Chains A and B, each alone.
Chain A
Amino acid sequence: MDRQGLADVIRRAQLLEPAALEALVDAYSGRVFGFVYRMIGSRDDAEDLVQEVFLRVTRMIGRYHDDGRFESWLFRIAANLVRDRARRFGRQPGRIDVQPAENSNGGGMDGFAGRNEAPGHALELGEDVSGLSAALGQLPAAEREVIMMRHYSDMSFKEIAEIMGTPLGTALARAHRGLQRLRELMTESVDTTTKLPGEVRS
């Protein structure tokens, strides 16, 4: 959707035209889902939150002033909902302990690993944990948020810093630190999974 097309869709969505609201869902639900899912680690909860994001968009779009930063506005709503959810649960969003997939579907390091239903399990928020999700789960929430906003939206670090209420330098530093840590974790994960049973890491 080009800028002019998006502006037109937003204008019509502000009049609560169902077709325009649905066009926004088509354009953004995938990326919003990716962001939310990576932040909280649970697919079912992510689906619920995506729905809540778009319900809020529907309720609030009449007050949105189209300054060409719709995506920033949308992801701000998503980020706020993720934080609200974390507050409700009394813990950091998506602090996920890495658990081996019991029922891995073989979808690679980014695949969903099936359900881990054990009550009182070390998984705090996530259910579908593997590969990248697990590695992301080990990052501090603030670092994960910057990385995922960059990954799923077209926002600049300046916009992300505004959303997070931090200086630009802090946002950059978090992204830098988080991405490096993420790559380390992923490399460790690959090393672990490729080693034969009983093999000792040097």
Chain B
Amino acid sequence: MTEFERMQREIEIEERWLRGLGERAAPAGLADRVKAAVRAEAGRIATPSRMRQLARWQGALAAAAMLALCTTVIWRGSMVERARVERVLLVEQFARSLEVVDATDASLAALGEEIDSVCSSSKSELDASIDELGDSIESVAIDSKSSM
């Protein structure tokens, strides 16, 4: 048996002897007094503790709000970009519309000229026909008078 083991063995024997002397119980009411003090202390520190818990939640809420703000900014940014693209498309469409209008104007002008030319040529032909018709009528009338 080593010195260490001998010492441990002797300690165990003496500890058993000490336990055999019996134990004095704690004074009556001590636990109740301590409990009351502990309860009061817990109540005293619970309030700041709850505040700390709330602060922890506030932190989480602040983080959530920041996240929401960032999302909104990004979303708004994408909306602005989309609006910008739509504006460019609108201008391009407007420009294309102007070209169409120009082309239509030219076609209309050509058509007008054509109508004018048709009208003017038809009028001169009609006039000639009417003249011819008048001449014919006059010659018919002269012939009738002479045969009578």
> Which chain A residues have a beta carbon within 8 Å of chain B's beta carbons?
16-18, 21-22, 25-26, 29-30, 33-34, 37, 43, 47, 50-51, 54-55, 57-59, 62, 108-112, 132, 147, 150-151, 169, 172-173, 175-176, 179-180, 182-183, 186
> Which chain B residues have a beta carbon within 8 Å of chain A's beta carbons?
4, 7-8, 10-11, 14-15, 17-19, 21-27, 30-31, 33-35, 37-39, 41-43, 45-46, 49
Instruction: State the Cβ distance, B27 to closest chain A Cβ, in Å.
Output: 6
Can you give 26 contacting A-B residue pairs, CB < 8 Å?
A16-B46, A17-B42, A21-B39, A22-B35, A22-B38, A25-B34, A26-B31, A26-B35, A29-B30, A29-B31, A30-B31, A47-B27, A47-B30, A50-B34, A51-B33, A51-B34, A54-B34, A55-B38, A58-B42, A110-B24, A111-B24, A132-B21, A151-B15, A172-B7, A175-B11, A182-B14
Give every chain A residue within 8 A of B38 (Cβ-Cβ).
18, 21-22, 25, 54-55, 57-58
Instruction: State the Cβ distance, B118 to closest chain A Cβ, in Å.
Output: 102
Main SS class of interface, A? helix
In angstroms, Cα B17 to Cα A109, docked, is 14
Instruction: State the Cβ distance, A18 to closest chain B Cβ, in Å.
Output: 5
Instruction: State the Cβ distance, B146 to closest chain A Cβ, in Å.
Output: 142
Give every chain B residue within 8 A of A33 (Cβ-Cβ).
26-27, 30
Instruction: State the Cβ distance, A174 to closest chain B Cβ, in Å.
Output: 10
In angstroms, Cα B34 to Cα A25, docked, is 7
In angstroms, Cα B30 to Cα A34, docked, is 12
Give every chain A residue within 8 A of B21 (Cβ-Cβ).
109-110, 132, 186
Complex contact B30–A179 (CB within 8 A): no
Complex contact A179–B49 (CB within 8 A): no
In angstroms, Cα B41 to Cα A110, docked, is 34
In angstroms, Cα B18 to Cα A54, docked, is 27
Contacts A18-B39, A30-B26 known; A179 to B34 CB distance under 8 Å?
Answer: no
Contacts A51-B33, A151-B19 known; A183 to B14 CB distance under 8 Å?
Answer: yes
Task: Give B37's nearest chain A residue, CB to CB.
Answer: A51
Task: Give the top 3 A-B pairs by smallest Cβ distance, nearest first.
Answer: A179-B14, A33-B26, A30-B26
Additional 16 contacts, C-beta under 8 A, given A29-B26, A55-B37: A17-B42, A18-B43, A21-B35, A22-B38, A30-B26, A51-B33, A54-B37, A55-B41, A62-B49, A108-B22, A176-B11, A179-B11, A179-B17, A179-B18, A182-B14, A186-B21
